[in-house]
Amino acid sequence: MRLAELSERSGVPTATIKYYLRERLLPPGERITATTAEYGDSHLRRLRLVRALVQVGKMPVATTREVLAAVEDESLDHHMRLGAAVWALPHDPGPAQEAPETATARRTADELLHRLGWQYGLEMGPASPAYGMLVNALAALARLGYPHAVESVLPYARIAGELAVADLDLVEEYETPAEQVEAAVALTVLLEPVLLSLRRLAEAEESYRRFRGDA
C-alpha cells in the first residue's frame, strides 16, 4: 500500500506519517520508483503502536524512537532487551539539585528495596530512571510534609509487586521474544492510564462510602 492508503487505514494524517518517517519512528517503505514507496502490514502495525504510545501513553517522540530501537535490537538476550526497552521509557530527569530532602528520599528508597528483597533493584536501581522518579516523588512529598517514610510507602510497593506479576503473566502469554518485548512495552505504557483512572474511580467510590452526607 502507498502512503495515502496507510493513512486511511490507520486514521493518521499523511503529514503526520511523513513526520514519523522523518523521525525514524517508522521504517521507510520499500522504494518502488523514484517517487513512490510501498508499505506493508508491519508498517500499519508499527504505526498503530506508535500512535498508542505517543497519544495515549503521552510518550515524547524522541523517547519512543529509542524504545522501539531497543525492542528491535536482536543482539541482546531476552531480559536485557526487556530491560533496555523499559529503561528507555519516559521518565522525569532525575533529582536535579541535591536538596536535603533528596538525600532522605534516596535513603528511604534504598531501605524500601531492601525490605522488599528486590535484589535486582538494589543492584541496578540507583542508575535506573524509575529509581530517579521514585526519589523525586518521595522528595516532593517530604517537602510538603506528607508521609514518605518506608512504612507509609511499603503498602504501595507491595501493590506494585502484585501489578508486576500480573503484567508479566500477560507478557508471557505471547510466544516469541519479539512479541513479548513489544507486549511488555505496550502493556507497561498503556496500562498506566488504565491503572490511574481506576484508582481515581476507586477513590471517588471510597470517598463516597466514607464521607457521604458529611457537613
Partner DNA sequence: CATGCTTGGATAGTGACACTCTCCAAGGAA
Partner DNA sequence: TTCCTTGGAGAGTGTCACTATCCAAGCATG
- Contact between residue 10 and residue 51 where contact means Cβ atoms under 8 Å apart: yes
Q: Which does 13 bind (CB under 5 to 8 A by kind): a second copy, DNA, none?
A: DNA
The neighbour count for residue 166, using CB atoms within 10 Å, is 12
- Contact between residue 47 and residue 5 where contact means Cβ atoms under 8 Å apart: no
Distance, C-alpha 63 to centroid of its chain: 10
What is the closest distance, in whole angstroms, from the C-beta atom of residue 57 to a second copy in the complex? 8
14 makes contact with a second copy (CB under 8 A): no
The C-alpha atoms of residue 49 and residue 72 are separated, in whole angstroms, by: 14
214 makes contact with a second copy (CB under 8 A): yes
Tell which positions 135-174 bind a second copy, by CB under 8 A: 136-138, 140-141, 143-144, 146-147, 152-153, 155-157, 159-168, 170, 172-173
65 makes contact with a second copy (CB under 8 A): no
30-31/37-38 β-pairing: antiparallel
Cβ proximity to a second copy: between 61 and 190 the closer is 190
Cβ proximity to DNA: between 1 and 178 the closer is 1
